[in-house]
Structure 1
Amino acid sequence: MKKFSDFNITVEAENFIGDKIRVTKILNRPIIVHAFKLDPSKFYAGESLALQIEFEGQKRVVFSGSKRLKEQIKQVPKDGFPFHTTIIEENDMHLFS
């Protein structure tokens, strides 16, 4: 009988560190984005964006369903992390600035 270790399974998903914070608490404030994940949303059809950020010197996690943020973050090259940004609200949409 095989052992689990024989399967050479590695964990790809990285758990994010820090307390959850609402986007509204960080709007128009400088943040550092360290990583992101897109997973199926538990609340609506489509993907949910999870951001590992640093805000005021602390690691935090932000969740968003913003279509614009998801479109923008997908365009950041892997070697572009971490990066400084600000999330703004424009025409009732959240965007990186």
Structure 2
Amino acid sequence: MKTFSELNIKSEREHFTGDKVKIGKVLNKQIVVHDYKIQNSKYTDKCLHLQIEVNNSKHVVFTGSKHLIDVIQKVSKDNFPISTTIVENDDGSFQFT
């Protein structure tokens, strides 16, 4: 009988590492975005998952921000990682700078 490891089956799901942090904790801070994924959300239409690094520590940020979702999709995956800051505009929306 074979063991599971002998089957050489790997998960195709992307796993982000690090503690989950609220977007407010990283606002106006220099961050490195390593990767992202967009999934359907039960709270908003879509949810953006960001794999980020702050001060050499990896974290995951979740947001339903339509502005961030729209903009990050325009960045080619081969341009990652990217350095950026997330700021909150006067109207409450978020933006990469």
TM over 0.5: yes
Which runs of structure 1 show a deviation greater than 6 angstroms over 4 or more consecutive aligned residues?
none
One-letter code aligned to 1:92? G
Q: Which secondary structure state, in structure 2, belongs to the residue aligned with residue 70 of structure 1?
A: helix
Q: Any unmatched runs of 5+ in structure 2?
A: 1-8
Q: Residue in 2 aligned with 1:19?
A: 19
Question: What is the one-letter code of the residue matched to 1:89?
Answer: E
Aligned to 2:80: 81
1:70 aligned residue: 69
CA RMSD of aligned residues (A): 1.7
Q: TM-score, normalising length from structure 2?
A: 0.85
**1:42 & 1:17 partners in 2: Cα distance?**
22
In the TM superposition, what whole-angstrom CA distance separates every residue of 1:27-77 from its partner, at most 9, and x where no partner exists? 000000000010111223x11000000011100000000000001100001
In 2: Cα distance, 1:33 partner to 1:84 partner: 6
Matches within 5 A, 1:1-97: 11-44=11-44, 46-90=45-89, 91-97=91-97
Deviation at 1:78, TM superposition (A): 1.3
Counterpart CA distance in 1 for 2:94 and 2:14 is 25
Deviation for aligned residue 1:22: 0.6
Identity %: 45
- The 1-side partners of 2:13 and 2:37 are apart by 9
